[in-house]
């Protein structure tokens, strides 16, 4: 987020207690400048990152806009480090005018070593704002730290497409769901597709077609198999299909209301992660397709004789620039369909 008049504190070889005391002093100092500065109090976010990649993560967080956490604690891990260095900042994106209020956000950067991760909860606990939801994000795979923060965090942010082992990624998400809410960016990338699929069958006269589904083709970037699987799992769980099976080559089957449903995940090339298209085939030979396009999705309906009609479904996704902000927002919400879709998707792989 763009910031003006940052108030900053830094120390080497420090302690969590000293950092917490410094944060309180920074907030007092900022309030003394103007009573128009008001601390944001919605969400804590703990980021556990590799030190050499912390700049990239900082850039991603700057782009989340109005979904910026109230307090962000970045744990930057460096091999061989034994002590804790810290930088704390209280920042606002404007200077309050008379009678106006401007929200401030706090950021704490802790330079840690791998040996600190096992006891990360005791380090971070004094620094989170009490009575707020705490979200933990480990984009570089520090799952030991995520486990260590089990008692402190209520939500975990992850991206299943970043793990080349799709089955392992989905099983990890299932394990995390046992005690915390999970926001999976792979799931969020399928949101515009799920919304538009549901819209296409929203009319009562078209709902009967759901029982006639005979095939399902999902086109996705090769690295985004998790998003495709979760979309498939969503359809299976919403339609009440029994557990299907999917081979490593992307071919498989499910059982629909009228019998077997042929399932295939196809790899396509595109500039952004996620899905490229979906085609739903029906038992009378007709098809309904959605494909990524400028400004929205292109819908194509083809009847059994091959005659096609095409139209545009307006409304593009947030794209990769907005997906992280949406993930942070979703940590304050609860999507009950994700758990069912995840279970169906993971079940297909077993």
Instruction: Report the percentage of the chain scoring pLDDT > 90.
Output: 72
Residues in the chain: 350
Query: What are the residues whose beta carbons fall under 8 Å from the beta carbon of 310, sequence distance 6 or more?
Result: 298, 299, 300, 301
Does residue 4 have a pLDDT over 60? no
According to the per-residue pLDDT averaged within each range, which of 25-34, 75-84, 199-208 is highest? 75-84
DSSP E strands in 232-286: the ranges are 245-246, 251-256, 259-268, 275-282
Q: How confident is the model at residue 258 (pLDDT cuts 50, 70, 90)?
A: confident
Of residues 259 and 110, more confidence is placed in 110
Q: Nearest-5° angle of CA 256, CA 261, CA 263?
A: 130
Cβ atoms of residues 23 and 105 within 8 Å:
no
pLDDT score for 63: 85
Read off the pLDDT band of 294 (50, 70, 90): confident
Average pLDDT score over residue span 257-275: 89
Which DSSP symbol is given to 149? T
* Per-residue buried b or exposed e for 128-164, using 16+ beta carbons within 10 Å of the residue's own CB: bbeebbbbbbbbbebeebbbbbeebbebbbbbbbebe
- What percent of the chain is predicted at pLDDT more than 70? 96
C-alpha 326, offset from chain centre? 7
What residues contact 343, with CB distance under 8 A and at least 6 apart? Answer: 174, 233, 237
Distance in angstroms (rounded) separating the CA atoms of residues 126 and 115: 19
Is 50 exceeded by the pLDDT of residue 261? yes
Angle at 144 between CA 142 and CA 147, to 5 degrees: 115
What was the pLDDT predicted at 280? 97
Is the pLDDT confidence value at 214 over 70? yes
Rounded Cα distance between 152 and 128, Å, is 9
**20, 11 Cβ separation under 8 angstroms:** no
* Number of CB atoms found within 10 A of residue 83's CB: 12
**Per-residue model confidence (pLDDT) at position 1:** 43
Query: Would you state the pLDDT for residue 303?
Result: 92
pLDDT tens figures, 302-320: 998 889 999 988 765 556 6
Domains of the chain in sequence order: 4-153 (no CATH), 191-320+337-349 (3.30.360)
Q: Kindly tell me if the per-residue pLDDT of 295 is higher than 90.
A: no
Contacts of 281 (CB under 8 A, 6+ apart): 213, 214, 215, 216, 217, 262, 287
Residue 13, pLDDT > 50, answer: yes
State residue 274's pLDDT score. Answer: 84
**C-alpha span between 174 and 198 (Å, rounded):** 25
Strongest mean pLDDT among 35-39, 152-156, 207-211, 298-302: 152-156
Banded pLDDT at 5 (limits 50, 70, 90): low
d(CA 135, CA 185): 14
Q: What is the DSSP letter of 315?
A: -
| pLDDT band, residue 123 (cuts 50/70/90) | very high
- Residue pointed to by tokens 């604690």: 73
pLDDT digits (tens, 9 = 90+) for 223-233: 889 999 999 99
Report the chain's C-alpha Rg in angstroms. Answer: 23
Quote the mean pLDDT of the chain: 91
The whole-number pLDDT of residue 90 equals 95
Alpha helices (runs of H) in 240-350, residue ranges in sequence order: 319-330, 336-349
Q: How many CB atoms lie within 10 A of CB 44?
A: 25
**Predicted local distance difference test score (pLDDT) of residue 91:** 92
pLDDT at 93 over 90: no
Taking the whole predicted model, whether its pTM rises above 0.85 is answered as yes
Residue 118 is encoded by which pair of tokens? 């096992």
């Amino acid at each position: 987020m763009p910031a003006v008049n940052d108030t900053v504190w830094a120390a080497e070889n420090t302690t969590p207690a000293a950092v917490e005391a410094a944060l309180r002093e920074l907030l007092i100092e900022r309030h003394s400048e103007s009573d128009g500065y008001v601390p944001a109090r919605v969400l804590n976010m703990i980021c556990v990152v590799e030190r050499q990649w912390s700049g990239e993560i900082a850039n991603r967080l700057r782009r989340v806009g109005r979904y910026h956490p109230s307090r962000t604690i970045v744990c930057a891990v460096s091999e061989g480090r034994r002590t804790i260095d810290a930088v704390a900042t209280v920042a606002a994106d404007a200077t309050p005018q008379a009678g106006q209020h401007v929200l401030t956000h706090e950021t704490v950067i802790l330079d840690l070593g791998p040996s600190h991760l096992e006891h990360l909860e005791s380090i971070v606990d004094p620094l989170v704002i009490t009575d707020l939801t705490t979200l933990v994000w480990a984009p570089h795979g520090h799952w030991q730290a995520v486990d260590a923060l089990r008692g402190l965090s209520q939500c975990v942010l992850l991206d299943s497409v970043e793990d080349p082992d799709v089955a392992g990624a989905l099983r990890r998400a299932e394990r995390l769901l046992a005690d915390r809410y999970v926001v999976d960016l792979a799931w969020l990338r399928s949101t515009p597709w799920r919304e538009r699929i549901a819209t296409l069958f929203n009319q009562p006269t078209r709902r009967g077609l759901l029982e006639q589904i005979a095939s399902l083709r999902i086109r996705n970037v090769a690295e985004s198999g998790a998003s495709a699987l979760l979309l498939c799992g969503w359809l299976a769980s919403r339609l009440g299909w029994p557990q299907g099976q999917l081979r490593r080559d992307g071919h498989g089957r499910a059982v629909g209301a009228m019998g077997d449903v042929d399932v295939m995940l196809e790899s396509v090339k595109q500039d952004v992660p996620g899905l490229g298209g979906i085609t739903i085939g029906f038992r009378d030979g007709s098809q309904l397709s959605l494909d990524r396009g400028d400004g929205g999705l292109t819908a194509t309906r083809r009847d059994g004789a091959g005659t096609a009609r095409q139209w545009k479904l307006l409304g593009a996704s947030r794209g990769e620039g907005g997906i992280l902000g949406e993930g942070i927002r979703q940590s304050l919400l609860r999507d009950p369909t994700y758990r069912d879709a995840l279970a169906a998707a993971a079940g297909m792989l077993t």
